[in-house]
Amino acid sequence: MNFITKVFTSALIAIFPAFGQFAKCIDSGLVDVDALVDASAMASSKLKDSVVWVCNGHSDNNRFYALDTHGKQIAAYYLKSKWQRNWEDMASGPGPDSDKSYLYIGDIGDNDTQWVVKTIYRFIEPLAQIRDKDRVDTISSFDKLDFVYPDGIHDAEAMMIDPLTKDYYILSKEKGISRIYRAPYPQPLKEVDTLEYLDSIPYSMVTAADISNSGDEILVKEYFRITYWKRNPGESVIDALRRSSKTKIPYIMEKQGEALCWSRNADAYFTVSEEADSVPCKLYYYVRNTAAAHPDAHSILRVYKHQLPQTFITLPDAHIDNISSQNFSIAGRRMKKQINAAAVIIKTPLELK
């Protein structure tokens, strides 16, 4: 990004507070996995932009799936563990080998609060590629991170990994509040860990949470909304969550929506729902309101370059990636032109507003 682009982008941020936030929901389609009826957890791949991981909460033989961003199955994997009690969240992030990406599956659900010891499974993320369609494999090597809470038994459906510290966090699922617990890295492998209670936040029935791959953005999902925090440099996860967030980002209410994750580069976030009352499982996608967030933004904006501010007409195409498609000011008059995010993704004619 050159000096001119930096100045223009900074001006957009100052003039238009919505710069960098998220567009309306994009329906990526039905999840094309017949067995995925209890989609309780998801995580983005750290190896491939076009892959998300999902799993059922229970009764699926320790199986999890790789999907493409249209909800189509790429591969299925079995975790060679004794049982799948209640898998309620997944995460991707760093682990013991700094050169590897890891998947975490949280067997943390406990609707009847009857299980004292809960488990998180950690293993090296398999490389799932679209060309490997319908691949089936087994994960035999994994770490079993057993833990207990310091203050009794709790139900939880939200787990997240801090990529800056490798600590994992559990957010309890309760009415009116969510208790936040932490397991500092390195977590013990041969004994049951006791989590550290940090605080509670006023969020009800939390069903999922995720931290961006860069570590500076946090999402927490309840049944009826998703809340966003921007983490300040040097700020801990709990200190960020203690700050009252007024940033409620777009969310289409799902019948039984319990899962979300950031995309690999945090240029979007995904949600997926369980099948409930004959409502099928769908994959939803929410993209940032910046041109660079759209896969086709570069070519789209080149075509519509004449509609951008006069200053940019003579700029090389290389600078297009840094232009916001949301708002522009020309000759002292504010012009708002927003490229419909869904139109860009599905490659239908552009809708300019």
Domains defined for the chain, CATH in brackets: 3-14+292-346 (no CATH), 25-287 (2.115.10)
- Beta-bridged to residue 79, according to DSSP, are 139
Question: Which pLDDT score is estimated for 131?
Answer: 83
Question: Which pLDDT score is estimated for 255?
Answer: 83
pLDDT in tens, 168-181: 999 999 999 999 99
DSSP letter string over 184-214?
PSSPPSSS-EEPEEEEEES--SEEEEEE-TT
Query: Residues for the chain: how many in total?
Result: 353
23 has pLDDT over 60: yes
Question: Which pLDDT score is estimated for 24?
Answer: 74
d(CA 79, CA 122): 10
320 has pLDDT over 60: no
H/E stretch holding 258: strand 257-262
15 has pLDDT over 60: no
Question: Which pLDDT score is estimated for 290?
Answer: 61
14 has pLDDT over 50: no
**From residue 255, how far is each of 59, 144, 201 by CA, in Å?**
20, 32, 25
237 in helix, strand or coil? helix
pLDDT in tens, 240-262: 999 988 788 999 889 888 999 99
pLDDT in tens, 186-219: 999 999 999 999 999 999 999 999 999 999 999 9
- Beta-bridged to residue 138, according to DSSP, are 78
338 has pLDDT over 90: no
**From residue 155, how far is each of 115, 146, 158, 210 by CA, in Å?**
9, 15, 10, 18
* Lowest mean pLDDT segment, chosen from 53-67, 180-194, 217-231, 239-253: 239-253
Task: State the chain's mean pLDDT as an integer.
Answer: 80
DSSP letter string over 73-140?
EEEEEEE-SS--S---EEEEE--SSTTS-EEEEEE---TT---S-EEEEEEEPP---GGGTTEEEEE-
Question: Which pLDDT score is estimated for 175?
Answer: 97
Question: Which pLDDT score is estimated for 297?
Answer: 40
* Lowest mean pLDDT segment, chosen from 164-178, 233-247, 307-321: 307-321
Question: Which pLDDT score is estimated for 22?
Answer: 84
- Beta-bridged to residue 227, according to DSSP, are 220, 248
| pLDDT band at residue 352 using 50, 70 and 90 as cut-offs | very low
CA dihedral 256, 44, 249, 224 (to 10 degrees): 10
Q: Determine contact, residues 219/269, Cβ cutoff 8 Å.
A: yes
Please list the alpha-helical segments (H only) found in the chain.
Answer: 3-15, 237-242, 297-303, 310-313, 341-346
Question: Which pLDDT score is estimated for 222?
Answer: 96
312 has pLDDT over 50: no
